[in-house]
Structure 1
Amino acid sequence: GDTVILFAENSPEWVVTALGIIRAGMVAVPLDVQLGDKTLVHILRDSDARAVITTQKRVERIEKLASSEKKPKLILFDADSDDERSWERFLDNKTTELPTAGSSDEAIIFYTSGTTGPPKGVPLSHANISSQLDTAAEVKIIAGDDRVLLPLPLHHVYPFVIGMLVPLALGLPLVLPFSLSGQQLLRALREGEVTAIVGVPRLYSALYSSIESKVESSGWIARRTLNVFLVASGFMQKWLRLRIGRWLFRSLHRRFGEKLRLLASGGAALEPELASKLEALGWQVAIGYGLTETSPLLTLSLPGEARRDSVGKPFPGVEIRIDPGALEKEEHVNGHDVGEILARGANVFSGYRNLAEETKKAFTDDEWFRTGDMGYFDSDDELHVLGRISTLIKTESGEKIQTEDVEDAYAEESAIREIGVLEKKGKLVALIVPGGTAHGDEGKDAVRKAVEAASKQLPSHQRISDYAITPDALPRTRLGKIQRHRLEERYDHAKEGGEKAPKAEPMSIDEMSGEDRALLEDSVAQSVWELLAKRYRDKRLTPDTSPQVDLGIDSLEWLNLTLEIAESSGVELTDEAISRIETVRDLLREVTEGGEGQAVDPLENPEKVLDEKQKRWLKPLGHISAAIARLLYAVNQALMRLLFRVRAEGLENLPENRQWVLTSNHISYLDPFALAAVLGWKHLRNTYWAGWTGVAFTNAVLRFLSRLGKILPVEPTRAARSSLAFGAIVLKKKKNLVWFPEGERSPNGKLQDFKPGIGMLLEKLPVCVIPVFIHGTHEALPPGKFLPQLRSIRLVFGKPLDALELKREGHGEKPHQQIVSA
């Protein structure tokens, strides 16, 4: 009967330990590793745990929060064998007779996620759990040769009972992914030969969104094909009972694992439209409804047997009835009575831990459990759940509004990332987290327009009358449900704070959404978050923070940051991955999906930084291509001299038999054409150019011309690694290099500060530097203009400079800063 807390991430050891605790007659208490201090203190006291089984990184926190009078014994999964807290020290080789647990004895205590207040302890007995296992075996939703993927944290009743205990009781293997990243889930599906997933709606929504995004990026033909195939598959399945989705989308099934057949959804409502789409794609979808207090399943909608807008029929052995009297007035849907859903059966718990009054409120006088959900039975005896009674809002007009319906309507707008609806003085108001990339006044204006657009689509009584904007995610449980008891305080704070900026410090994990807390369960993501929190301790750091806009991370910072991430976590971010990062959340997702690797210095080992596609830009031109290039250079030279009377001073400063780097100011798109016109073929054939990807590589024609001109793709804002690698390879091959150290065109024609890249190149490869100053191109074709003016252009070539001398003359903490400043 002693309680033992499990406070660690999913692992095979976790599963074995939970089973061992229950078999030994003790009571397992699985906890979310991301619990806040206040909640954890409450549970430590309420559970009266004799022991806490955890990992070394959580020991200090447990010791700090546990009561000094009755500290639980600590047992560690990852301690050395000579550590007295190691699990190995608790092994006993002697034969021990284990107690026989009674059916009414407690087996496990789950603490509810706390959407309406502090978490309540929900003890489930051996009889409660056994009833679910027996019925699951009877309905045969999984059986035989199934292999079950379990991507959910095991401190919730749904994954613990349905995802873990049911397959194990049936003798089926469990597949645990290394992390919840897309790449690791795909790996687990394929390598584990998974046939069934026990997941939640957010997982399946993300799955379908990833499919949709991939199709969108493939063009309108792929998009149209997807829609046509979905309609055809859905029609055949509904009217002819033929499942053709696996055949129509066979390439998709190869990607996700050809043996995957079943998607089991629970924990929250699965949108009927999403369920239909997943079935049209060729998977079977099963939907369960229940609560922690009911162990958990009350109803089950089996594949192909129920309407997708219902949660199916009662689980065998479960009784359900509707109590219209629980509502203030009579309500009907299609002639069916609406009321609170009541349940009873062997799966229903007997009461909350240490909460006699709450237990009394939870049951009717005749011992039916009050689920707190509204619903009705249709004419086919299928249950329809309409939402929580506690989330109903009664407006001043007397209308009752289901907040989740209103939230779904407004969340359709892309400018609204999250929205939580609440009641203030009889009116609907909302707390909104902006979506998209807009910031400041632009972001507020986008939210205002989104609210106006969504409001037009809703009846007047469902429209919000006011809202507040917050940059921080809404408080949610780990399954993604809004913690509504915290909304009002957050709303008032946002309203009162108005334009005040949030405190300049990293967001605490307690403040994050369930999705973001789940992301930080991955050890790599957690280490990167800690790295960022340490680096930017004086800035507001949240998952929605923009690395570029809010943290000021430029190309050099990206380089340093990626090297630090690789060094600390073993994950190396490619330039392609960096280009996808708009928020810190994106960065965390990229590192969870990144491959294992070691930090690669682009100056020491540039070949390892570039992929084969990038290396093609460095290959010598063939005879035909070289001839075309020479012809184009001649045409360019003639046009520049004819139209702009281009001339050069100091060309004699260019060494004939010595490698050089030419550094020029950059004031116009005409600059490289002017330089090429005066250099001459004998220099040009051994010269490479750094060219901005945003101009020189935007289409096939420009990419072909860039190849002929030996222009290398440089991204000045993010892809510092590949940019430096290109430069390093060119210089190591004893070729010349033209580099615009400002990184972009000057908007006013004046010289801008140099980016650090050229300094880093010359620090490592100190070749001769030729400074060039270009006059006239800004007047001929300034930024923002398309048609050039016929103005004369003059280029002044300075005397050769020694990189080592520049380092001695310059100032700065690091050598590359000294070179650039000189």
Structure 2
Amino acid sequence: MSKYIEDEGVAFIPGLVKIEDTMTVPATIRRYGEERSKHVVIERKSNLGNTWVPVTWRQLIDEVRELARGFIGMGVQPGDHIAIMAHTSYEWTLFDFAIQFAGAHAIPIYETSSTAQAEWIINDANIKFAIVENQGMYNVVAPILKKYEHFENIFVISDNAQSKIAANGTMEDDHIIDERIDALRADDLWTIIYTSGTTGRPKGAELTHRNILHVALNGPADEGLINVISYKGSRTLLFLPQAHVFARFINLVAMIGNATVGYCDTKNLVADMQSFKPTFILAVPRIFEKIYNSADAKAGKGVKLRMFRTFAKVAINYSRALATEEGLSAKLTAQHRLGDKLVYSKLREITGGKLRFAISGGAPLGERLGSFFRGIGLTVLEGYGLTETSAPTTVNRSNNIHVGSVGPTYPGCYVKLDEDGEILVKGDHVFRGYHNNPEATKAAFTDDGWFRTGDIGKLDDDDFLWITGRKKELIVTAGGKNVAPASLEDRLRSHPIISQVVVVGDQKPFVGALVTLDAEALPQWLINHGFPPMTVAEAIKDPQVLAAIDRAVKRVNERVSRAESIRKFAVLPTDFTVENGYLTPSLKVRRNVVLEGFADKVREIYGE
């Protein structure tokens, strides 16, 4: 892999694809529809059991054009904004592409959004129509309908929205689609994605066609990503929200990269993975943590539990040995071979048996978990990016990986560190600004045009980026010690019954932690340890459960200095979820909301 340093301290790998001024997303989709008309690009889940129905590029484009003609017949004009509020699905992709073919912009609203959250987007983005998944989401959006003159109608996918909209179009309007696509340019707006935001009101990041095409076209051309997303037979099952830029990017890059895409709900993830048999997936660290903790819990107790944990360590050591000059020893190779027969192969079967790679982002995965999955035959390519960078800025490659890092720069992306360690980014993938918010836009960039990510990191000698924390989340204790909470939280979350962790201690005499229990993992863990059944409410007060958490905290503290160690913790009565507002829709902890909601628990930690 070629690497260039244009200026001292700037990491950069060139991209092979240059985005020309006439290149846009709908024009690219239209071209692939013509060039690959018979290629199966999507498989839709059948209503009859766990079977999948192939959809060729030609079939997809025909449906897209039919729906786009309907939008045009309804009076949709170039530049109009149409909201989509739905779970990840074939319909999400269909409406997204059709809206773009009509010359308009698809603006996502998270399927978990409240009426107030949806109203902010509908008003700020001047939404004309909303496409919602079902009656429940209609009820969320309906109170907004009469409040704004620009918001004209809501269409419900489960109530035959596709046919109702398509009925407004005629074949005579088909040429209008091509005229509108041809009129677009690379630097025109592609979408506005409202950051889920761990603090404050969401800001609308304006992404252009150049932004998203830069990452979507350069990914499949990269030598370290070709065998992940671009080889014959590659398949991905998408289940993260398409309202988030991460999933929308992967959807586009997979289709462009010649992979076959399926869509599913997280509720049916295991069954759908076993029937669809993906070769790579997109996920966030919490999913990998749950897979590992679930496997540990289901191992039971006694011999089976000891066997799982023994071979888990073998997998971790095997992966770590791959990165050393000495490489694998004969003993470790033999242990790994036995582990594959007894443990690893069974874990892989849970995912369909063909899964080789996973792309992880959104938060740090951690070296230990990354090594475990690589050791069992599932290589997690950890990457880094934000909504404002069209998703990826750095990513590990299949042929160039440092487990625990977020990889070298994505093709055509520039990265450097500010004096305080903040990660700064430049490139064609960086957004053009925040919608209706020039002050926030100005604050997001340095005077010489570098985007301020707000994250703290370091570049190693090979120019791999390592994330060490959020600039705004750095804790400064009363003794003046800077503590990055992310590494402490990641390590403590590895315990089977711990779901979420928020480290506290800003301007306090020592570091503390708020901990939640995993209600799904708790019953099996209790059985494994010979404890009686108990609810979460009972467990948070049980001396044996608290002692187990205390031991986990002490193990975490062995890796840090005393000033950084967790001295006290409090176990909260409820877990963090999207529904109760403590998690963003992309499963990030809303730290400020947690601190406000459990201020009494923080005071208890410090005896206040």
TM-score by length of 1: 0.54
Structure 2 residue 366 is the aligned partner of structure 1 residue 366:
no
Instruction: Classify 1:464/1:108 alpha carbon distance in 2 versus 1 (closer, same or farther; 3 Å).
Output: same
Residue 473 of structure 1: aligned partner:
575
1:250 is displaced (CA, Å) by 3.8
Residues 337-352 of structure 1 mapped to structure 2, 5 A cutoff:
339-352=421-434
1:433 is displaced (CA, Å) by 3.3
Does structure 2 conserve the Cα–Cα contact (< 8 Å) formed by 1:215 and 1:223? Answer: yes
Q: Which amino acid in 1 is paired with 2:159?
A: A
1:166 is displaced (CA, Å) by 0.6
Q: 1:11 aligns with which of 65, 82, 89?
A: 89
Q: 2:252 aligns with which of 165, 179, 182?
A: 165
Structure 2 CA distance, aligned partners of 1:465 and 1:255?
39
Secondary structure at 2:231 match in 1: coil
Q: 1:386 aligns with which of 468, 481, 490?
A: 468
Secondary structure at 2:299 match in 1: helix
Secondary structure at 1:314 match in 2: coil
Does structure 1 conserve the Cα–Cα contact (< 8 Å) formed by 2:82 and 2:128? Answer: yes
Does structure 2 conserve the Cα–Cα contact (< 8 Å) formed by 1:115 and 1:482? Answer: yes
1:349 is displaced (CA, Å) by 0.5
Instruction: Classify 1:293/1:233 alpha carbon distance in 2 versus 1 (closer, same or farther; 3 Å).
Output: same
Structure 2 CA distance, aligned partners of 1:230 and 1:72?
56
Does structure 2 conserve the Cα–Cα contact (< 8 Å) formed by 1:233 and 1:281? Answer: no
Instruction: Classify 1:340/1:235 alpha carbon distance in 2 versus 1 (closer, same or farther; 3 Å).
Output: closer
Which stretch shifts more, 17-26 or 186-195?
186-195
Instruction: Classify 1:201/1:418 alpha carbon distance in 2 versus 1 (closer, same or farther; 3 Å).
Output: closer
CA deviation profile, 1:530-569 (whole Å, cap 9, x unmatched): xxxxxxxxxxxxxxxxxxxxxxxxxxxxxxxxxxxxxxxx
Secondary structure at 1:4 match in 2: strand
Residue 234 of structure 1: aligned partner:
319
Structure 1 CA distance, aligned partners of 2:135 and 2:168?
17
Structure 2 residue 372 is the aligned partner of structure 1 residue 277:
yes
Instruction: Classify 1:272/1:416 alpha carbon distance in 2 versus 1 (closer, same or farther; 3 Å).
Output: closer
1:159 is displaced (CA, Å) by 1.0
Residue 115 of structure 2: aligned partner:
37
Does structure 2 conserve the Cα–Cα contact (< 8 Å) formed by 1:285 and 1:302? Answer: no
Structure 2 residue 266 is the aligned partner of structure 1 residue 180:
yes
Does structure 2 conserve the Cα–Cα contact (< 8 Å) formed by 1:413 and 1:450? Answer: no
Residue 189 of structure 1: aligned partner:
273
Residue 3 of structure 2: aligned partner:
none
Residue 103 of structure 1: aligned partner:
186
Residue 78 of structure 1: aligned partner:
158
1:247 is displaced (CA, Å) by 6.0
Structure 2 residue 379 is the aligned partner of structure 1 residue 299:
no
Instruction: Classify 1:257/1:323 alpha carbon distance in 2 versus 1 (closer, same or farther; 3 Å).
Output: same
1:12 is displaced (CA, Å) by 0.9
Secondary structure at 2:219 match in 1: helix
Q: Which amino acid in 2 is paired with 1:208?
A: Y
Structure 2 residue 125 is the aligned partner of structure 1 residue 125:
no
Q: Which amino acid in 1 is paired with 2:287?
A: L
1:471 is displaced (CA, Å) by 1.8
Q: Which amino acid in 1 is paired with 2:392?
A: L
Q: 1:286 aligns with which of 361, 381, 385?
A: 381
1:322 is displaced (CA, Å) by 0.9
Q: 1:314 aligns with which of 400, 409, 413?
A: 409
Larger radius of gyration: 1
Q: Which amino acid in 2 is paired with 1:29?
A: I
Does structure 2 conserve the Cα–Cα contact (< 8 Å) formed by 1:112 and 1:292? Answer: yes
1:208 is displaced (CA, Å) by 2.8
Secondary structure at 2:218 match in 1: helix
Structure 2 residue 143 is the aligned partner of structure 1 residue 60:
no
1:212 is displaced (CA, Å) by 3.1
Instruction: Classify 1:408/1:317 alpha carbon distance in 2 versus 1 (closer, same or farther; 3 Å).
Output: closer
Structure 2 residues not aligned, in runs of 5+ = 1-78, 523-533, 577-581
Residue 564 of structure 2: aligned partner:
462
CA deviation profile, 1:60-114 (whole Å, cap 9, x unmatched): 3212134523233212212257x9x933444433224231211111111111111
Q: Which amino acid in 1 is paired with 2:308?
A: R
Structure 2 residue 529 is the aligned partner of structure 1 residue 443:
no
Higher relative contact order (CA 8 A, sep 6+): 2
1:392 is displaced (CA, Å) by 0.4
Residue 761 of structure 1: aligned partner:
none
1:423 is displaced (CA, Å) by 4.4
1:463 is displaced (CA, Å) by 4.6
1:376 is displaced (CA, Å) by 1.5
What is the number of equivalent residue pairs in this alignment? 479
Structure 2 CA distance, aligned partners of 1:266 and 1:482?
14
1:51 is displaced (CA, Å) by 0.9
Secondary structure at 1:313 match in 2: coil
CA deviation profile, 1:615-674 (whole Å, cap 9, x unmatched): xxxxxxxxxxxxxxxxxxxxxxxxxxxxxxxxxxxxxxxxxxxxxxxxxxxxxxxxxxxx
Structure 2 residue 410 is the aligned partner of structure 1 residue 323:
no
Secondary structure at 1:78 match in 2: helix
Q: Which amino acid in 2 is paired with 1:22?
A: Q
Residue 290 of structure 2: aligned partner:
206
Q: Which amino acid in 1 is paired with 2:256?
A: A
Residues 738-817 of structure 1 mapped to structure 2, 5 A cutoff:
none
Structure 2 CA distance, aligned partners of 1:497 and 1:415?
23
Does structure 1 conserve the Cα–Cα contact (< 8 Å) formed by 2:277 and 2:351? Answer: no
Q: Which amino acid in 2 is paired with 1:191?
A: S
1:304 is displaced (CA, Å) by 4.4
CA deviation profile, 1:263-310 (whole Å, cap 9, x unmatched): 221222221111111111112332221111001111111124121122
Structure 1 CA distance, aligned partners of 2:436 and 2:109?
18
Structure 1 CA distance, aligned partners of 2:516 and 2:270?
30
Instruction: Classify 1:215/1:289 alpha carbon distance in 2 versus 1 (closer, same or farther; 3 Å).
Output: same
Q: State the Cα RMSD in Å.
A: 3.2
Instruction: Classify 1:448/1:320 alpha carbon distance in 2 versus 1 (closer, same or farther; 3 Å).
Output: same
Does structure 1 conserve the Cα–Cα contact (< 8 Å) formed by 2:296 and 2:309? Answer: no
Q: Which amino acid in 1 is paired with 2:137?
A: R
Structure 1 CA distance, aligned partners of 2:563 and 2:204?
37
Does structure 1 conserve the Cα–Cα contact (< 8 Å) formed by 2:514 and 2:570? Answer: yes
1:215 is displaced (CA, Å) by 3.4
Q: 1:51 aligns with which of 117, 124, 129?
A: 129
Structure 2 residue 479 is the aligned partner of structure 1 residue 397:
yes
1:20 is displaced (CA, Å) by 1.5
1:442 is displaced (CA, Å) by 7.1
Residues 512-523 of structure 1 mapped to structure 2, 5 A cutoff:
none
Does structure 1 conserve the Cα–Cα contact (< 8 Å) formed by 2:360 and 2:383? Answer: yes
Does structure 1 conserve the Cα–Cα contact (< 8 Å) formed by 2:297 and 2:496? Answer: no
Instruction: Classify 1:439/1:192 alpha carbon distance in 2 versus 1 (closer, same or farther; 3 Å).
Output: closer
Structure 2 CA distance, aligned partners of 1:233 and 1:20?
48
Residues 640-719 of structure 1 mapped to structure 2, 5 A cutoff:
none
Which stretch shifts more, 483-492 or 410-419?
410-419
Structure 2 CA distance, aligned partners of 1:451 and 1:195?
36
Q: 1:215 aligns with which of 265, 285, 299?
A: 299
Residue 529 of structure 2: aligned partner:
none
TM-score by length of 2: 0.71
1:448 is displaced (CA, Å) by 6.4
1:262 is displaced (CA, Å) by 1.5
Does structure 2 conserve the Cα–Cα contact (< 8 Å) formed by 1:6 and 1:29? Answer: yes
Instruction: Classify 1:485/1:12 alpha carbon distance in 2 versus 1 (closer, same or farther; 3 Å).
Output: same
Secondary structure at 2:434 match in 1: coil
